[in-house]
C-alpha cells in the first residue's frame, strides 16, 4: 500500500475482500501518476488563464479529493456562475494504464474512516485535485442565469485556475449567518460566497416550479473510532443545499452540451453517457396516495392537510410537511410519510440514451461534477472537450465500444458502493445488537424507534439513538402480541383478527434484542411493552 492512510482497519477488511476491492494500485499505474505529477501540463498554451478569478472549494471537513471550485458574480440583471471541475480527462486517457485501472474500479469507494480512490492519491488528492494556493487544470463552466435563476447560456473552456481556499460547509455557513464575526468577511472571495444562498434559492425555486421534490432528510454519517463504529445524524447546512444546486446545474448544462437540439428532438452529438432517472410508475403513486389517506385516518389527522390529493403536486405536498408538524408525535409521522414518498422512486441508471432525470427535473443530465471519483465523469469530460474542439476526436467506432465498457463499469461501480454501504450498515447493527445480546435478557435495553414502513413480512423501524434502520419481522411481532397480523389495503398498518390496528406507520415502538438467528443471518427483535397505540395526534 502506498501510504499509511491506506491501512485498512480490521472491521472493514472483510467488506473490501467480499467486493474484491484493493486499496493498492499496480506499479505501472503509480508510475504513470508519478509522471503526471512531475509534468502536470500547466504550461499548455491552449489553457485559458483564469488564475485571477478567486475560486474556492466548499466541501465537508474531511474531503481531500477536491473536484469542484466555484465563483459567483452579479451580471446585469442576472448572475454568472463559474464552476471549475478538475480536468481529470487530461491525465486519464483511453489506452493508458490509468484509464484501464479507473475503468476496472469504476468509482471511488467510501467506507467509514476510509476511502478507496479510483485514481492514485498522488493525483486524486494531489496533482489533479483543486487544492488551495496552487495552479491546477480545470474544465470551467461559465453559466449565465437570468434574474429568476434560469439558465440562459453556458460556455465551457479548459483553463488554469488557482483556488484561494479550501472551505468547509460550516465555515461558509458561519460567514453567511454572522458575517461580522467570520474570519472570511474581508476575503477576496467573500462577495462571491454571499451570492451563493441567493443563486441557490433561485435554483431551488426554479426546481420547485418543475415539481422537483426536496426531501427534508437528515444525513447519517458512520465513522470508525479504532475498531468501533460511530454514528452521527445531522441536518445539512443550508449552504450545502445551495452548493448542490450549482452541481446539478452544471450537470444539466453538461448534458445539453453533449446533445444537438434539432427542433424538439435530441440527436447524438457525442458518444455520451447520461444519468437517467425515470419517474415513479403511476400505480406506485396511486398506492402512495391510498396509504397516506389511511395514515391520516389512523392517526386522527386532518385529511385535507395530511392526505395527498390528486390536485396537489407531490413536490408541493412534501415541501409543506414541516409546516404541518406541531409536536413530537407528528414529527415521527412526518418522517415516516416522507420515507414512504422516497420509496416510490425507482433507481437512476447510467444510459447511452439521453432521458429525463426525474429527481432533478433535467433532460438530459450527465455526471460532469465528479471526474476523479467516477469513470463516467472522465469519459463525458473527454467527449465534451473533443466535441468543443479542445482535443482531437477519436474514431467514433472506437469510442462507441469504449463508451459501452464505461457504461457497464459505471453502473457496476454504483452497485458496488451500495453493497459496501449495506455491508457496513450490517456491521453497525451487529456491533450494536451484539452488545445488547451479551447482557442477561432482563437487562437488555428497550430501544425506541419510529415505524417507517411495512413490506411483506417486515416492519421497518428507524431507531432514535443511534438513528439506524432495523427490521422487525411481522411473525415475531405477532407472537409477542398474540395476534395474527394482516396489512390494511393501503399498507399503512397491521391489524389483528378483530380489525384493530396494532402496528401503524408513524407510531413509536420499543424494541429489544432476543437473539441472533445465524441460519437466516439476522437479528431477532421483539416489541416491548403492552399491545397499545398512542392516542391519535391532534390536527394542527
Instruction: Examine residue 534 and state whether it is found in any structural domain, yes or no.
Output: yes
Q: Please identify, among 403, 427, 451, the residue that sits at the C-terminal boundary of a domain.
A: 427
Pair 333, 369 in one domain: no
pLDDT tops 80 at residue 533: no
129/124 Cα distance (integer angstroms): 6
Instruction: Say if CB 192 and CB 182 are below 8 A apart.
Output: no
**Selected residue with higher pLDDT from 438 and 467:** 438
Which residues neighbour 172 within 8 Å (Cβ) at sequence distance 6 or greater?
58, 184, 193, 196, 237, 239
* pLDDT number for residue 117: 96
111/380 Cα distance (integer angstroms): 26
Pair 232, 141 in one domain: yes
Q: Please identify, among 396, 427, 458, the residue that sits at the C-terminal boundary of a domain.
A: 427
User: Which letter does DSSP use for residue 492 in this model?
Assistant: S
Instruction: Say if CB 214 and CB 319 are below 8 A apart.
Output: yes
* 80, 110, 123, 164 from 167: Cα distances, Å: 21, 21, 20, 9
User: Which letter does DSSP use for residue 394 in this model?
Assistant: P
Which residues neighbour 265 within 8 Å (Cβ) at sequence distance 6 or greater?
none
Among 472, 458, 452, 500, smallest CA distance to 333 is for 452
Q: What is the mean pLDDT of residues 145-161?
A: 96
pLDDT tops 60 at residue 2: no
Q: What is the mean pLDDT of residues 300-305?
A: 89
329/327 Cα distance (integer angstroms): 6
Pair 202, 234 in one domain: yes
Among 274, 298, 332, 207, smallest CA distance to 492 is for 298
Mean pLDDT taken over the chain: 90
Q: Which helix (H) or strand (E) holds 399?
A: helix 396-437
pLDDT tops 70 at residue 375: yes
* 52, 438, 445 from 433: Cα distances, Å: 55, 9, 10
Pair 120, 207 in one domain: yes
- pLDDT, one tens digit per residue, over 393-410 is 888 889 999 999 999 999
* pLDDT number for residue 345: 87
Instruction: Examine residue 237 and state whether it is found in any structural domain, yes or no.
Output: yes
Instruction: Examine residue 150 and state whether it is found in any structural domain, yes or no.
Output: yes
Confidence category of residue 149, pLDDT binned at 50, 70, 90: very high
DSSP 3-state of 321: helix
pLDDT tops 50 at residue 540: no
Q: What is the mean pLDDT of residues 96-118?
A: 95
Which residues neighbour 64 within 8 Å (Cβ) at sequence distance 6 or greater?
115, 121, 124, 125, 129
Instruction: Say if CB 337 and CB 292 are below 8 A apart.
Output: yes
Q: What is the mean pLDDT of residues 101-125?
A: 95
- Relative to beta strand 166-168, strand 57-59 is parallel
Confidence category of residue 322, pLDDT binned at 50, 70, 90: confident
Pair 418, 538 in one domain: no
Confidence category of residue 4, pLDDT binned at 50, 70, 90: very low
Pair 191, 334 in one domain: no
Name which of 211-225, 333-347, 515-529 the model is least confident about.
211-225
Instruction: Say if CB 120 and CB 32 are below 8 A apart.
Output: no
For residue 320, count CB atoms less than 10 angstroms from its CB and return exposed for 0-12, middle for 13-18, buried for 19 or more.
exposed
pTM of the predicted protein model: 0.89
Location of C-alpha cell 476491492? 21
pLDDT tops 50 at residue 539: no
* pLDDT number for residue 24: 94
HEC secondary structure over 193-226: HHCHHHHHHHHHHHHHHCCCCCCCCCEEEEEEEC
Instruction: Examine residue 396 and state whether it is found in any structural domain, yes or no.
Output: yes
Instruction: Examine residue 189 and state whether it is found in any structural domain, yes or no.
Output: yes
Q: Please identify, among 427, 453, 480, the residue that sits at the C-terminal boundary of a domain.
A: 427
470/477 Cα distance (integer angstroms): 14
Among 55, 388, 313, 294, smallest CA distance to 189 is for 55
Pair 8, 59 in one domain: yes
Instruction: Examine residue 434 and state whether it is found in any structural domain, yes or no.
Output: no
User: Which letter does DSSP use for residue 362 in this model?
Assistant: B
* pLDDT number for residue 5: 45
**Selected residue with higher pLDDT from 374 and 313:** 374
Share of the chain above pLDDT 90, in %: 71
β-partners of residue 156 are: 141
**Selected residue with higher pLDDT from 115 and 534:** 115
Instruction: Compute the 3-state secondary structure of the chain and give helix, strand, coil in percent, each to the nearest 5.
Output: 40, 25, 35
Name which of 13-22, 230-239, 283-292, 368-377 the model is least confident about.
230-239
Pair 294, 225 in one domain: no
81/195 Cα distance (integer angstroms): 10
Name which of 264-268, 388-392, 434-438 the model is least confident about.
264-268
Confidence category of residue 492, pLDDT binned at 50, 70, 90: very high
* pLDDT number for residue 1: 34
Helices (H), 20-96: 27-38, 88-91
* pLDDT number for residue 456: 87
* pLDDT number for residue 269: 66
Among 476, 532, 466, 523, smallest CA distance to 503 is for 532
Q: What is the mean pLDDT of residues 486-497?
A: 93
Pair 327, 462 in one domain: yes
Number of domains in the chain: 2
Which CATH number covers residue 483? Answer: 2.40.50.140
pLDDT tops 80 at residue 530: no
Instruction: Examine residue 491 and state whether it is found in any structural domain, yes or no.
Output: yes
Among 347, 246, 326, 374, smallest CA distance to 537 is for 326
Pair 336, 360 in one domain: no
311/345 Cα distance (integer angstroms): 20
69/156 Cα distance (integer angstroms): 14
Instruction: Examine residue 433 and state whether it is found in any structural domain, yes or no.
Output: no
Half-sphere exposure of 231 toward its Cβ, with a 13 Å CA cutoff?
Answer: 17
Pair 291, 367 in one domain: no
Cell representation of residue 316: 408541493
* pLDDT number for residue 337: 92
Domain with 462, as residue range(s), is 279-345+442-540
Cell representation of residue 363: 433532460
Pair 168, 305 in one domain: no
For residue 33, count CB atoms less than 10 angstroms from its CB and return exposed for 0-12, middle for 13-18, buried for 19 or more.
buried
pLDDT tops 70 at residue 207: yes
Amino acid at each position: 500500500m502506498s501510504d499509511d492512510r491506506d491501512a485498512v482497519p480490521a472491521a472493514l477488511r472483510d467488506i473490501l475482500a467480499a467486493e474484491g476491492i484493493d486499496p493498492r494500485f499496480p506499479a505501472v499505474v503509480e508510475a504513470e501518476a508519478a509522471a503526471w505529477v512531475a509534468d502536470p501540463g500547466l504550461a499548455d498554451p491552449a489553457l485559458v488563464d483564469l488564475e485571477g478569478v478567486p475560486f474556492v472549494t466548499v466541501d465537508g471537513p474531511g474531503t481531500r479529493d477536491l473536484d469542484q471550485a466555484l465563483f459567483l458574480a452579479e451580471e446585469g440583471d442576472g448572475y454568472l456562475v463559474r464552476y471549475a471541475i478538475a480536468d481529470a480527462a487530461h491525465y486519464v486517457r483511453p489506452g493508458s494504464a490509468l484509464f484501464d485501472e479507473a475503468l476496472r474500479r469504476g468509482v471511488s469507494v467510501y467506507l467509514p474512516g476510509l476511502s478507496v480512490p479510483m485514481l492514485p492519491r498522488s493525483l486524486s488528492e494531489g496533482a489533479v485535485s483543486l487544492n488551495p494556493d496552487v495552479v491546477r487544470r480545470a474544465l470551467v463552466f461559465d453559466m449565465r442565469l437570468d434574474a429568476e435563476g434560469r439558465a440562459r447560456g453556458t460556455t465551457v473552456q479548459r483553463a488554469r485556475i488557482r483556488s484561494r481556499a479550501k472551505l468547509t460547509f460550516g465555515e461558509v455557513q458561519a460567514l453567511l449567518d454572522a458575517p461580522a464575526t467570520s474570519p472570511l468577511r474581508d476575503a477576496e472571495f467573500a462577495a462571491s460566497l454571499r451570492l451563493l444562498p441567493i443563486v441557490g434559492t433561485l435554483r431551488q425555486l426554479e426546481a420547485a416550479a418543475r415539481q422537483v421534490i426536496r426531501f427534508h432528510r437528515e444525513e447519517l454519517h458512520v465513522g470508525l473510532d479504532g475498531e468501533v463504529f460511530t454514528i452521527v445524524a445531522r441536518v445539512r447546512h443550508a449552504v450545502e443545499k445551495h452548493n448542490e444546486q450549482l452541481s446539478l446545474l452544471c450537470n444539466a448544462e453538461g448534458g445539453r452540451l453533449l446533445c444537438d437540439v434539432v427542433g424538439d428532438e435530441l440527436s447524438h452529438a457525442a458518444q455520451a453517457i447520461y444519468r437517467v432517472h425515470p419517474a415513479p410508475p403511476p400505480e406506485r403513486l396511486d398506492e402512495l396516495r391510498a396509504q397516506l389517506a389511511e395514515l391520516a385516518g389512523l392517526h386522527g389527522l386532518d385529511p385535507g392537510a395530511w392526505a395527498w390529493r390528486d390536485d396537489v403536486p407531490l413536490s408541493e405536498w412534501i415541501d409543506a410537511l414541516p409546516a404541518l408538524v406541531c409536536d413530537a408525535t407528528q414529527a415521527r409521522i412526518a418522517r415516516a410519510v416522507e420515507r414512504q414518498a422516497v420509496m416510490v422512486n425507482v433507481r437512476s441508471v447510467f444510459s447511452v440514451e439521453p432521458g429525463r432525470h426525474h429527481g432533478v427535473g433535467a433532460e438530459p443530465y450527465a455526471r460532469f461534477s465528479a471526474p476523479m471519483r467516477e469513470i463516467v465523469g472522465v469519459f463525458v469530460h473527454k467527449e465534451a472537450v473533443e466535441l468543443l474542439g479542445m482535443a482531437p476526436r477519436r474514431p467514433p467506432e472506437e469510442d462507441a465500444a469504449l463508451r459501452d465498457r464505461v457504461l457497464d463499469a459505471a453502473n457496476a461501480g454504483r452497485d458496488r458502493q451500495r453493497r459496501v454501504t449495506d455491508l457496513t450498515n450490517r456491521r453497525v447493527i451487529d456491533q450494536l445488537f451484539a452488545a445488547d445480546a451479551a447482557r442477561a435478557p432482563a437487562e437488555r435495553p428497550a430501544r425506541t424507534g419510529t415505524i417507517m414502513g411495512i413490506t411483506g413480512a417486515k416492519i421497518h423501524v428507524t431507531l432514535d439513538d443511534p438513528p439506524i434502520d432495523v427490521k422487525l419481522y411481522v411473525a415475531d411481532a405477532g407472537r409477542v402480541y398474540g395476534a395474527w397480523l394482516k396489512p390494511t389495503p393501503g399498507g399503512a398498518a397491521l391489524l389483528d383478527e378483530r380489525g384493530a390496528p396494532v402496528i401503524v406507520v408513524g407510531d413509536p415502538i420499543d424494541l429489544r434484542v432476543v437473539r441472533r438467528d445465524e441460519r437466516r443471518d439476522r437479528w431477532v427483535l421483539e416489541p416491548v411493552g403492552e399491545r397499545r397505540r398512542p392516542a391519535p395526534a391532534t390536527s394542527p
